[in-house]
Structure 1
Amino acid sequence: MFYLLGLLGGFAVSNQSHINERLGGALKSPFRAAFLSFSLGVVFLGVLAFIQNPHFLGDIVALTKTGQPWRIYSAGIFSMLYQTSNILLFKNVGAVKTVVLPTLGQVVMSMVIQTFGWVGAETVALTAIKVAGVILVIIGVLVAVVLSARLENKTGSSQGSSVFWHVWGIFTGMFASFQQAITGHLGHLLGAPVDGAFVSFVGALILLTILVAFKERPFFNRDGMKAAPWWSFLGGIPGSLFVFFIGIVVPVLGPGMGAILGLMGMLIGTIIVQQFGWYQSVKKRVNVMQIIGIVIMVVGVVMIQVL
């Protein structure tokens, strides 16, 4: 059951990118889409936290009075950056690369965070096997991105994208690493992973409210909201489910296995959505280089997280 929850968590978040990208297109803004997504996510996580502990808000307030450093509440910054970046990446580099590129950034930054014990993370020694795992992940990304692009060029189905978005995809994964590390540490301090996730989503929602208020006119695109399909407003639920499921899996199976299951679920979900054109997306077959690159990446992640 725990293995299944880990896979379902990754599968859920892979669907979120497609849903939010569709909403962002209708609203003419990835920031409006992220705002609505986090709004629903805050409500969803708030309900889960209340069911688990009706006094969870009091526990959060009590923690703010214990003199903890401000950085333990900063996950919302990285949540906002990760969410909005995913919407933009999906539009500019496609579904598979929106998973593959951030994975490289996430793997590298997660290892740095664990090696130096940043943001309250447990220190893990850097070994030759972990370095070899990172090298494999890099090779996998090159195969899935560079060789895949060459194969698509030969078949005439290539979709060009700038170097900037490929680099930004790697940074997006780094944002995810900080968000998960900070949220996990906060959840540990509060005694419940869902409470840490709730604080993260609230912080992101506050930042997005300010950003949309200053950047977008009007705040809500009413015509776009009317034209958008109903399911495009549900993007906050898959993201919340990912945080919730991984929060259940990690204490039982460990952070390494949680990361592997989440990654596998995301890759499976992305391939299925792209293959069958869910959420009104363009159907696109996954080519052999992408599959080979993904397999190499998974082996690398296993070496880093487990061995």
Structure 2
Amino acid sequence: MNAAWAFPFIFIAGMLQAVGAVMNGVLNKSLVNPYLATAISFLLVLFVAIALFACMPRPLPTVADAANMPWWAPLGGIVGAVAVFAGLILIQKLGAGPVNGVTITANLLCSLVIDHFGLFHMTQHSFNGWRALGAVLMIAGVTLIARF
């Protein structure tokens, strides 16, 4: 992907994540059962992923690629499901702003720790005053959105 498209793509993905959380909240409210709503939501994602794979099956991993994969790499979907489930059951009660704001802020704070220590095979980016200021401003912004 061309680097010029990376940030607009991420921006649109972030907007869609906010919209998706609200849609999942309505799905949960309509179906009454959060586990059924979660299953339906992820089943649709599975169908889209299978369709995309069927259209673009290359490249495929080698046996060595699979053997060298860290044990925790496939767990990303399950980890992400926790955030989806939390939004699904809480967004109708708390509102889109606070739920998405706290989710994004928690994501950012955890990302700063991952970057600082180079966890999960990420390139290390040391924590500094500017990053700390950004984190404080995020927390302040979410606090304002949640309170008012």
Which TM-score applies when normalising by structure 2?
0.81
Question: Offset at 1:176?
Answer: 0.3
Question: 2:101–2:142: 8 Å Cα contact kept in structure 1?
Answer: yes
Partner of 2:21: 180
Is 1:306 matched up with 2:147?
yes
Within 5 Å, give how 1:108-123 maps onto structure 2.
Answer: none
Partner of 1:261: 102
Question: 1:194–1:247: 8 Å Cα contact kept in structure 2?
Answer: no
Q: Distance in 2 between matches of 1:249 and 1:186?
A: 12
* Number of positions where the alignment pairs a residue of Structure 1 with one of Structure 2: 146
Question: 1:274–1:281: 8 Å Cα contact kept in structure 2?
Answer: yes
Q: Distance in 2 between matches of 1:251 and 1:204?
A: 22
Deviations 1:237-265 (A, max 9, x none): 1111122334455566x234433432332
* Correspondent of 1:284 among 116, 125, 134: 125
Partner of 2:75: 234
Question: 1:260–1:301: 8 Å Cα contact kept in structure 2?
Answer: yes
Partner of 1:198: 39
Partner of 2:137: 296
Q: Which runs of 5+ in 2 are unaligned?
A: none
Q: Distance in 2 between matches of 1:294 and 1:181?
A: 25
Question: Offset at 1:229?
Answer: 1.5
Q: Which runs of 5+ in 1 are unaligned?
A: 1-87, 89-160
Is 1:215 matched up with 2:37?
no
| Larger-Rg structure | 1
Calculate the aligned-residue CA RMSD, in Å: 2.5
Partner of 1:162: 3
Distance 1:262 1:243, change over 3 A: same
Question: Offset at 1:235?
Answer: 1.0
Question: 1:194–1:243: 8 Å Cα contact kept in structure 2?
Answer: no
Distance 1:236 1:199, change over 3 A: same
Q: Distance in 1 between matches of 2:91 and 2:15?
A: 20
Q: Distance in 2 between matches of 1:297 and 1:290?
A: 11
Q: Could you tell me which amino acid in structure 2 is paired with residue 210 of structure 1?
A: A
Distance 1:245 1:180, change over 3 A: closer
Question: 1:264–1:298: 8 Å Cα contact kept in structure 2?
Answer: yes
Query: Percent identical across equivalent pairs?
Result: 24
Q: Distance in 1 between matches of 2:91 and 2:11?
A: 24
Q: Distance in 2 between matches of 1:250 and 1:241?
A: 14
Q: Could you tell me which amino acid in structure 2 is paired with residue 221 of structure 1?
A: P
Question: 2:25–2:91: 8 Å Cα contact kept in structure 1?
Answer: no
Q: Distance in 1 between matches of 2:90 and 2:84?
A: 10
Q: Distance in 2 between matches of 1:293 and 1:301?
A: 12
Distance 1:179 1:226, change over 3 A: same
Q: Distance in 2 between matches of 1:171 and 1:247?
A: 20
Q: Distance in 2 between matches of 1:301 and 1:248?
A: 19
